[in-house]
Structure 1
Amino acid sequence: MKTKVHSLLICFVTILPFLELFAGPPEKTQFQWKWTNNQVLELNEYHDVFFRVGTKTVEREDKNRVVMKTKQCSQDSCLVNAWFDTYLRYGKTSGPFWKDKEFLSDFTLFRNGRYEVPNEFIMPNLRSFPSFPENAVSVSDVWKLPAEESFDFSSERIRVKVTPEYTFQGIFPWKEGNYSGNCEKISYTYPIFYTKAESERMAPNVPYKIFGFATGTVFFNATKGVPEFKEVKLSYTFIYPNGTVQEANFHIKGVYFLRNQVNAKDKESIREDILNDLIVGYTKDGLPNGLRITPAYRPGNGKPNANPNGIGEPTGTLITNQNPDLNSPSKLIPEGEDPNKIAEQLPVKVRTSEDGIVFSLDSILFDFNDSKLKPDAESAVAKIAEILKKYPDREIRVSGHTDNIGKKEYNQKLSEERAKSVLHSLVDNYKMDEKQISFRGYADDLPVAPNDTEENRHKNRRVEITLVLD
């Protein structure tokens, strides 16, 4: 019996290699960007940041929103127009994000992932990650291609050439918060070394030595030709001419969203939908005698507000009495009535802007020189929150504004506090994602009317909530 088992094992050992001779070659994957004209790729990054200088340490969380639009694409590259919004908050993931800086950039992205960035642009500061070989690759294949990191200091920019080593890991799932996917995974690592030449001028606030390392993972959808998710760890040591040594560590996670560009007509259509939702929300809760605005149709079955089986066409807006104890007559707003005239009565105004759709809450929602929301303000924020939740992948910015009366410092603080009041209401009372929202106070820097009359100054004392579409 023992002899038979031994013979059987030998049989399997000798047959398996023989069978492998008939297996086909391993499947290969060709990586390249497949962007086309009029597309937008948005990247939302979150950075855990740690700084150390001597015994002093600082922890911070940064958020970067990167929007890249294709201006023109050819067979081998796309000319990209991009802007980079940066946000930060101090401490370990506590409190709202403060909107910090904005950067514009025009650069060329080649199909293999290589960047060409003109010298006048700071961003993107990590360039040519990842880059792909010309030939298709198999799982576990390794390649090296040049890339660059750009460090922007107050008086000088340092560009460091690096050579990442990439490995194709295969297809894996990824998940970050509410987002997930399943696509090709590429990992990479590289060291960073930089020493300024002795012949170059030394500036006290610019390091003359930089060293460190980086490890990264990119989930790149080879079928769609765009990335879906990335995670990067960066560790730097900066040595300054005066002997100061600074350490900086970044843990970065970023989710990509691909969509078509939103034009002016699209924005206006979205604004009209939002305005109708806002009107319905207010008339449901806020008009006297329980009146409510609902769609009205030409009679298709003898009932003025019914349209079974698609019979009849919309003719306007029907205000109906929702309270059976009241006998207020219904009123039909004629076809062609501008809903903006109805909206003028609301404490929230809705308009389009270069960035997207803006909800403007004027100063009647705050007491004079106060940043605490009044009851009417809470009601307005509640209705806006319900609308914003329909756009879960979009950024939301809350901005505070004042008139030009009073000292600049005071107005700056008041505008920030009012913006934070609205932000905290969205997050605390209506459970919106804090990472999706940022705030900034602008004092009297961005008036919507001249500060020459009390009526115009009233318009400038406001808080705005922007649903970012670009």
Structure 2
Amino acid sequence: MSQTRLLLFCFVTMVPILDLVAGPDLKTQFRWKWNENQVLELNEYHDVFFRVGTKTVEREDKNRVVMKTKQCSTDSCLVNAWFDTYMRYGKTSGPFWKDKEFLSDFTLFRNGRYEVPNEFSMPNLRSFPSFPETPVSVNDVWKLPAEESFDFSSERIRVKVTPEYTYQGIYPWREGNYSGNCEKITYTYPIFYSKSDSEKMAPNVPYKIFGFATGTVFFNAERGVPEYKEVKLSYTFIYPNGTVQEANFHIKGVYFLRNQVNAKDKETIREDILNDLIVGYTRDGLPNGKRIQNQHRPNSGNPQAVNVGNQNPNTNPTGTFITNENPDPNAMPMGDTEEKDRIADQLPVKVRSTEDGIVFSLDSILFDFNDSKLKPDAESAVAKIAEILKRYPDREIRVSGHTDNIGKKEYNQKLSEDRAKSVLQSLVDNHKMDEKHISFRGYADEFPVAPNDNESNRHKNRRVEITLVLD
């Protein structure tokens, strides 16, 4: 199989945002109308089937595509995109393993055409869908050129295709907990590529590719955003040594449109999350059985509500009214930043903001030495984090395992993966979180938070981190 490995990720990333013109003829003008400082996120799930001879492989892939507008004009938008890929083997069972990351900058024109610089491999399905210059009616059909880009180990192959689109009208769609009722476009196109006899043949690159694609894209005309897509792709790759590889994809994807989260917004979210953790540990105590130590200042005796999170100022996230009347002896004056930071240092869970979002870092209370089974104190910490994560049901959650640099790299790699997987399974099995939004990966000692030069610093590097992805 190694000589025929195929690097292929299928994204229908360019989806037009609808500009609806409702006249007497009921025609619709399709155009992109993306604004600056907006984010369009696509979460795709692929059922994948590979066959080489009598050998077959089934797996489920997940792709998370985040597209941000950097600059827009009347004709086009410059888009900055992140493509995160995940996989799990078997038939939709077990946790997702985080695989690769791709970055891309490209220009999207209002009619759906794009320009992708040669240095970027993503998106690999380009200028799709594209739209005619004139409005269309229900059952109207149009054809416009597009391109599929296949990246193999030593060569990129670009295949020109000509999809045939049909506007079907307004129809309902449903996928899991998500549903809608909006404009529907169906499409189909054949795929064919053949390398000429004069071109150089590479053993791991096919000289013939053929197949077909059929699919549906839904749009919300009123909101001007894509909502859902479903596509089936079938490819056959023929290699110079006679090997024939078949690849079939059944893809479903849900889109979300939101405004970009800036650094100030992230810090506000981090503060709210930290406040919630402090309240939880103040109530329940620390893993070693101790209570949080506070340094109280005298107050005026006037009841003042404590604002926890983004809820009503007089309630915490569970709706319980909180004041400093008859205060808990361990309660914290939340407005005192210095005191809050000092208390945060006592917690077994550290919270920080990064480019990706908010990171919960759990220290070595999680596991015994060289073990990947969660300890009871760790289960308590994961429970508190899960309570917070459930407030962000549509956000990506990444669990990463990390070790110090003591021991063999291969051993530490497996240990870090097993520990990350244990935390993920606790979130899914014990706290009923949706595993389709959670992935894991082990990094061994690749990303230390402190130099591995003494036991105290190595202790800091032995950790599991849970990232609430905000971008």
Normalised to the residue count of structure 1, the TM-score between the two structures is 0.87
Q: How many angstroms apart in 2 are the aligned matches of 1:51 and 1:319?
A: 65
Going by fraction, where is helix more abundant, 1 or 2? 1
Partner in structure 1 of residue 341 of structure 2: 340
Structure 1 position 225, deviation (Å): 3.0
What letter matches 1:240 in structure 2? Answer: Y
Partner in structure 1 of residue 51 of structure 2: 52
Contact persistence 1:320–1:330 (CA under 8 A): no
Structure 1 position 221, deviation (Å): 2.3
Q: Does 1:97 align with 2:99?
A: no
Which structure 1 segments of 5+ residues have no match? Answer: 1-23, 323-327
Contact persistence 1:284–1:291 (CA under 8 A): no
Alignment of 1:180-329 (within 5 A): 180-286=179-285, 304-305=303-304, 318=324
Partner in structure 2 of residue 34 of structure 1: 33
Highest Rg: 1 or 2? 1
Alignment of 1:354-369 (within 5 A): 354-369=355-370
What letter matches 1:148 in structure 2? Answer: E
| Deviations 1:254-279, CA, capped at 9 Å, x for gaps | 11111111111110000001111111
Cα distance, 1:233–1:297 mapped onto 2, change above 3 Å: farther
Cα distance, 1:373–1:30 mapped onto 2, change above 3 Å: same
Cα distance, 1:344–1:204 mapped onto 2, change above 3 Å: same
| Deviations 1:45-102, CA, capped at 9 Å, x for gaps | 0000000111111001000000111110000100001110000000000110000001
Cα distance, 1:28–1:333 mapped onto 2, change above 3 Å: closer
Q: Report how many residues are paired.
A: 433
Cα distance, 1:232–1:363 mapped onto 2, change above 3 Å: same
Q: How many angstroms apart in 2 are the aligned matches of 1:310 and 1:391?
A: 20
Contact persistence 1:357–1:469 (CA under 8 A): yes
SS at match of 2:29: coil
Q: How many angstroms apart in 2 are the aligned matches of 1:297 and 1:187?
A: 68
Contact persistence 2:291–2:330 (CA under 8 A): no
Percent identity of the aligned residues? 84
Task: Report 1 or 2 for greater relative contact order, CA contacts < 8 Å, sequence distance ≥ 6.
Answer: 2
Q: How many angstroms apart in 2 are the aligned matches of 1:374 and 1:422?
A: 11
Partner in structure 2 of residue 381 of structure 1: 382
Q: How many angstroms apart in 1 are the aligned matches of 2:470 and 2:82?
A: 13
Q: How many angstroms apart in 1 are the aligned matches of 2:24 and 2:271?
A: 56
Alignment of 1:154-169 (within 5 A): 154-169=153-168
Partner in structure 2 of residue 17 of structure 1: none
Contact persistence 2:46–2:61 (CA under 8 A): yes
What letter matches 2:372 in structure 1? Answer: S
Q: How many angstroms apart in 1 are the aligned matches of 2:145 and 2:161?
A: 6
What letter matches 2:109 in structure 1? Answer: F
Partner in structure 1 of residue 152 of structure 2: 153
Contact persistence 1:291–1:320 (CA under 8 A): no
Partner in structure 1 of residue 411 of structure 2: 410
Q: How many angstroms apart in 1 are the aligned matches of 2:99 and 2:330?
A: 53
SS at match of 1:262: coil
| Deviations 1:343-402, CA, capped at 9 Å, x for gaps | 111110000011000000011221111111000100000000010000011000000000
Cα distance, 1:202–1:291 mapped onto 2, change above 3 Å: closer
Q: How many angstroms apart in 1 are the aligned matches of 2:292 and 2:186?
A: 60
Q: How many angstroms apart in 1 are the aligned matches of 2:281 and 2:341?
A: 14
Structure 1 position 462, deviation (Å): 0.2
SS at match of 1:383: helix
Structure 1 position 281, deviation (Å): 1.5
Partner in structure 2 of residue 395 of structure 1: 396
Normalised to the residue count of structure 2, the TM-score between the two structures is 0.87
What letter matches 2:409 in structure 1? Answer: K
Contact persistence 1:292–1:321 (CA under 8 A): no
**How big is the alpha-carbon RMSD for the aligned residues of Structure 1 and Structure 2?**
2.5
Structure 1 position 220, deviation (Å): 1.9
Partner in structure 1 of residue 11 of structure 2: none
Q: How many angstroms apart in 2 are the aligned matches of 1:329 and 1:425?
A: 29
Partner in structure 2 of residue 437 of structure 1: 438
Partner in structure 2 of residue 69 of structure 1: 68
Contact persistence 1:297–1:305 (CA under 8 A): no
Cα distance, 1:72–1:306 mapped onto 2, change above 3 Å: closer
